[in-house]
Structures are given as C-alpha cells and as structure tokens.
Amino acid sequence: MKMMIWKELRENFKWAVLALIGLALAEIYGLYYTDQNNPNNQGITLLNPTFLMATSLGNAVAGLLLGLVQILPEQRRDQWAALLHRPVTRGVIFRGKALAGFLLYLLAAVPPFLFCWWLAATPGHFVAPYVPDLVYAGLSDIFIGATYYFAALVVGLQRGSWFGARTFALLSAVYLSCSVSAVHYFYVVTEGAVILALILFAAAWGAMLSNGKFRDRPWLTRAALLAAVFYGICGVGGLAAILVNAIQQPEPYVGAEYKITQDGQPIIVSNNKDLTTTVTDLAGNPIHDARYTGRLRYGNEIFENQITYLIGDSHGFDPRHVSSDYYNYRLSYWYISEIESYGSMQPIQWFYLEGPRYVTGIDRRSKTVTQIVDRTGFHAPGLPIDPFTGERSHWYDVPCLVQDGNDAYMCDLDKQLYTKLPSADPSPIFGFQLFSYQPTGGKGSDMIIVVARQSGLQLYDSNGALITTIPYDPQINLDRWGKIWFGLNRSATSFYVRYTPSSWLPWEEQQKTPAYLDEVDAKGTVLHSYTLPPLPEPGFPRSWQTYLTKSLYSPAFWFWDLAYKKIGAALGIPSLIGEEHYWYHTNWPEAVDISTRVVIYSLLFAAIGLAWARSAGMAWRRALAWAAFVFAFNLGGLLTFRLVADWPARVPCPKCQKKRPVEEPTCPHCQAGWPTPTRHGLEIFDDNALSPATETARN
C-alpha cells in the first residue's frame, strides 16, 4: 500500500498546491474584508462572515475537486484495467488512494487556516482581541470539507446513472453544509462531519469492491450507501423547502398585545388576518385617535423593557438557559461583545471578553491593547486581571452596567469611570436596565438606570446618584408575578411597572395568567393600577408545507426521538425534562396526530415499494426487506430504495410471457425454468455428460 500512497501523492501533489494557493488567497481576503455599507454587522476576525464563506465554500470545493481529479481520469478502460492489474486486492488499492487523497486535502486546507489564525492571534493586525474559541468555526469547515472529498470518491467509483446514488451521495455532504447554521455547537457539527465522512468512505469502498453492484457489497458498505443516499434525499427536501419559503409570501402575524400610550393609557393593538390593525381600550371600545392607529402609533407609545425574569426564589429556573437556546458557535458575539462601535475617529475600541470576563480597549492606530477594565477598575495591560463575577452585566451600552455580587456599578468607558451605585438595600440584584429620556425643557437626552432588588426598583441618574425607590405593589405576589417590565414617558415624569408571570412558571400557565400595570410618579406614588387579562395566543395558519413535512417524518427517527426524551427525563437530564413535558403533556395531541400521519404515510409508501419490487421480479424475501426499509424511513426510504436497489434486467418468460429477471433460475410468476437452448451444431461444449465407458475408451 506504500507504493500506492506514493503514486497518488506524486501524481496529485500539484493539484493540492493549487488548492492551497486558492484557499489562502480567499481566506486572507475574507479575513480583512469589511462591508463599508454595514460595518456594524460583521463578525470578529476568524468569525467574519466573508472569512467563514471562504472556509466553508472553499474547503468543500477543494475536497470535491481533489477527489474527482484523483478518480475520474483513471476511469478510462485501459487505465482502470492497468490500475486493477496489480498483485494486491481492490481494498488495498482503494485504501491507498483514499489515504493519499485525504493527506493532500489536509495539505491544501490546513496551512491557509493556520496562517489566518496566526494573523488574528498576533497583536498589531486587527482592531480586535483574540480568544481561542474563534477557531471553532473554521475547524468545523475543514472537517466538513473532508466529507466532500469522500463524496467525490463515491461519485467517481459508483456505477450507474449520474442522477442516482452517486449524485445523492454528494448531496448528503451538501445537506451537512446547509445544516451548519442551524446546529449550535461545534462538537455536534464535528461529530456529524466525522460520521458522514466514515459513511461515505465505506460507501466508496463498497463501490470499489463490487464494481457498483449493491448486492455484491459487504453488509457494512451497503448500509453506508443507504445512509448516504437517504441523507442526500433529505438534503434535496431541505433545499426545496428553503426555495418554497423564499418565493412564498410570508404569512402575516395575527395576534394582540398590550401597549401604553404617552398619556399613560393601556391599549390593545390587534393585528388581523386582513392586514388591518385594530386599537381598543381595556373595555374593548375602539380607539380612533390617529396618534395610535396609524404610523404615528410607534412614536406615541411607551417603550418597555424587561428588567427581571423573576423575584425571589428561582424554583430551579436559570436565566442563562434562555440565552443558550440562541447560542451558535459561529457567531462572534458569544465570545466577544463589541461595546458601542464608535467609528474610525474614536481612538480606542472597547470589547468585553465573555470567557475571561473582562473589558479590553484596543488602540486603533497601533492595534494593540492599551486599557483593561476588571473588578478593580481601569488599569494598564500586563497587570493581574480580576474577572467580573456577575451574571447580569450589560456590556452593549455606554455607560455599561456591571453586577458584582449584590452590588451594582456603572462603567463609563468614555470618562474612564467605574462608579458603584449607592444602595442601603443589600438584597440580591434581579436585573437592571438603562433608559434614555428627554429632560423637560432641555435639549438632547439623559439616562435613568433602573436596578431591581428585593425591596423595589431603584432609579439612578446618569451620574450614579439615587433618584428614588419604587416599591413593588404589595397586593401582588412577586413569586408568581416576578417578570417585571419597566417604561417611562418622554420627560421621565411618569413610570410604568408591569408585573407579568415569572419565568419559572410553565409556559402554558404564563399564557393563561393576567398581568398587572402600575403607573407611578417620581415620588413612588401609584397613580393608576390596571389589570391586563390574558390575550389569545398568536395564531399561525397551518400551511401545507408544515403539514406535509411533519407527515413525512421517518418513523425510525420520530419514535426514537420521543422515546429518547422520555428516557432522558426519567434519568433526570435537565435539558430533556422540559422537552418530555412539552411533547407528552403540553403538546400531546399534536404528538399523537404526527405519529398517526407518519405511520399511515409510511405504510402507504411501504406498500408502493413492495409492489414496485415485485413488479420488477424481486423475490418475496428481498421485496419484503425493502418494504420494511421503506416503512422505517417513509418517503425518503422509498426514494432511496429506487436509487440504490439492483434493478434486474427482465425478458418475457417463454412459458407465461410475463417479464422475468434474467439472473433468476425460475420465473417468479409461473415457476418455470429456462428452456434448453436449441442446438445448431456450432456449440463448443457438449452438454451431454460422457458415459463411464466412453471416458474409459478415450483414456
């Protein structure tokens, strides 16, 4: 096998070098590229969207082309015969080619990424800090590119129509690439890429051993080809769904929500199916005031922002799980938060590092770190760093709000001030927010900082001085109504505190529980109180795409997923307890409906597959095995069966005239064998066995 590896390396090294140069140019360009029309929507260095486009698309193209140029030129009859005419098995030849090609792919893909990593990690190249987590997206793209190399081996070695198993095996790698944006974790993408690469490797190996015949492959390589084609079909379905959604008009949002006018009046804004908007008061009386019914409505409403998730006992609820649902390892703001991008005229750009938990300031000219902010305040780089400890700090506005235990701080990066907000209440902090308003009779805008503690909402001015404390409404059970929203009018003379169900309550209970609204003046006196009954849940029309997609779920995957959630919840896995409660309690009718439709559709396609197999002349045992496969994987299984199965050549039976497979000894319809061919005297071999006497005489 060593000689085979050296042969492949020697013949294809030039293509790997060419791919390396192309990837290096594309990745370096993507690393430095900045969209001048939208400079604030860029990732940080190794997570720059243009750089990720270069790594994802570039590695895929490199892997695919390296595999094709390694296999297709040798598919000519004479060259292929010369390749196989060696004193080694086909398996040895294939493993040598695959190992050499994979090494060439790594030679093309890894050095450009390592060079870009060095540029991003070395100070003086970018006005951005570096954290190790930034490398995950590029590494996953290298793994995914390897699947394209092995898919190219399947394309080159698989026999048959191009619109068949070979094309859909390639589409399985495309499906993985399209799924990356929806997968949140690096290890999940990496595991998927490794598993798919092994599947495609086995499928290509089977094609090499059997010369394309499905039945002649080892059972493992048959399973691999089925899996590759099935996921390729899933990829086609996913791409078709994306195309349909792109050309289809989006369904309008239908629902109602509470708003507060600048006059302090709660109103109900309803979005109707006919694209009209209805505005009513709490009693249901229509409001025709142009300030609240047209485009002016948004400028005449109070802006509210959520302050807390709960007050008091958490009941096991962790607010961090809310944000983790939106986590994606390919987005830089999960690792680095850019604090109010000022533009090129600002001398220092500030960033908050999510992992190390401190703020760094980078000089725009030297592109090096000049300031550090941690729990001790502002200091020069090089000194020991004392990380922040609070879970509720806000690092996207200036000034920033910082939690340190039960203390709140205001960090003004412009003035380089780190100020503790005074408080006589040592209770825990449940949340804080910053609100802007226009001073009465003044110009510009000012700020109010709201800190939620056990005793009430503390309001501070922009200098960190305590303005007032708004106590919570004593008639409200804060344990159950602890999700608090806060708003203020333009001149900050009236404040609005809305009490909504705490986040630890089940979602269906939150939807059925009323909310309460208090209007409070600057002295903390309650001016008005309102009860806000629960509104109907937003209606989302049931589309035929959603219905069809859920009906075509694979029974093997769907029922296993339900069982997995049940088992995980029984074992006490926190992430699966909520999933189990949703499907087995909150959404059980839909689970039963989907399960019923999945079984019905799968039985229908299994019957079609059985009839298809029998009409093609397959034996009952083989046809039933394919029918069971189709039932397990629904429409995807039926299409996989059609693309992968060995469809026999058929001719009319001499006895019953029905078509029968040429490789079967008996007709599946009448059980007749093949008739004895007519003798013409030109036969080379005599079919009649020699008698012992004749044989003795000849000897």
- Burial degree of 465 (CB within 10 A; 0-12, 13-18, 19+): exposed
**How far from chain centre, in Å, is Cα 132?**
21
User: One-letter amino acid identity for 172?
Assistant: S
Task: Provide the 3-class DSSP secondary structure of residue 70.
Answer: helix
Residues 82 and 151 in one domain: yes
Both tokens of 163, joined, read: 């619109």
For residue 77, what pLDDT is reported? Answer: 60
- Give the C-alpha distances (Å, rounded to integers) separating 454 from 310, 543, 576: 10, 46, 32
Rounded to 5 degrees, what angle do the CA atoms 568, 574, 575 make?
80
Q: pLDDT averaged over consecutive 10-residue blocks of the chain (699 residues)?
A: 81 93 95 72 85 94 93 69 66 86 95 96 92 93 95 86 81 88 84 94 87 79 91 83 70 82 89 82 86 75 92 82 70 87 70 92 91 92 90 83 91 88 90 84 78 93 90 93 93 91 88 93 88 80 75 91 89 78 83 93 94 83 92 92 82 82 77 78 58 47
User: One-letter amino acid identity for 173?
Assistant: A
Both tokens of 403, joined, read: 């939690």
Starting at the earlier edge strand, list the strands of the sheet with 483-488: 304-306, 483-488, 494-500, 515-521, 526-532
Residues 307 and 347 in one domain: yes
DSSP 261: B
Residue 116 included in any domain: yes
Rounded to 5 degrees, what angle do the CA atoms 9, 15, 20 make?
105
Query: Following CA atoms 99, 101, 106, 112 in sequence, which dihedral angle do they give, to the nearest 10 degrees?
Result: 170
Neighbours of 546 (CB within 10 A): 12
Q: Is 284 left (phi over 0), alpha (psi -120 to 50) or beta?
A: left
Residue 692 included in any domain: no
Residues 511 and 410 in one domain: yes
Residues 360 and 498 in one domain: yes
Residue 689 included in any domain: no
Residue 281 included in any domain: yes
Sign of CA dihedral 486, 489, 492, 495: negative
Please state the pTM of the whole predicted model.
0.83
Residues 219 and 360 in one domain: no
Nearest CA to 46 out of 122, 130, 124, 161 is that of: 130
Residues 503 and 576 in one domain: no
For residue 576, what pLDDT is reported? Answer: 78
* CA 559 – CA 553 distance, rounded (Å): 10
Residues 525 and 560 in one domain: no
For residue 541, what pLDDT is reported? Answer: 59
Nearest CA to 320 out of 354, 352, 359 is that of: 354
Residues 86 and 233 in one domain: yes
Query: Are the CB atoms for 72 and 156 separated by under 8 Å?
Result: yes
Residues 460 and 606 in one domain: no
Domain span including residue 180: 2-247
Number of domains in the chain: 4
Residues 623 and 639 in one domain: yes
- Give the C-alpha distances (Å, rounded to integers) separating 676 from 654, 660, 672, 673, 679: 11, 17, 12, 9, 9
529 φ, ψ to 5°?
A: -130, 140
For residue 695, what pLDDT is reported? Answer: 47
Nearest CA to 648 out of 687, 618, 668 is that of: 618
Terminal alpha carbon distance of the chain: 49
Residue 212 included in any domain: yes
Nearest CA to 532 out of 481, 492, 490 is that of: 481
* CA 229 – CA 164 distance, rounded (Å): 9
Task: Provide the 3-class DSSP secondary structure of residue 492.
Answer: coil
* CA 629 – CA 222 distance, rounded (Å): 13
Query: Following CA atoms 334, 340, 341, 342 in sequence, which dihedral angle do they give, to the nearest 10 degrees?
Result: -170
Say if residue 399 is preceded by a cis peptide, omega within 30 of 0: yes
Residue 678 included in any domain: no
Sign of CA dihedral 542, 545, 551, 555: negative
Residue 658 included in any domain: no
Query: Are the CB atoms for 137 and 52 separated by under 8 Å?
Result: yes
Instruction: Map tokens 């080892």 to a residue.
Output: 218
Query: DSSP H helical segments within 313-443, as ranges?
Result: 319-324
Last residue of a domain, one of 299, 330, 361: 299
Residues 334 and 197 in one domain: no
Residues 430 and 555 in one domain: no
Both tokens of 368, joined, read: 């090096």
Last residue of a domain, one of 236, 269, 299: 299
Last residue of a domain, one of 214, 247, 280: 247
For residue 687, what pLDDT is reported? Answer: 53
Residue 467 included in any domain: yes
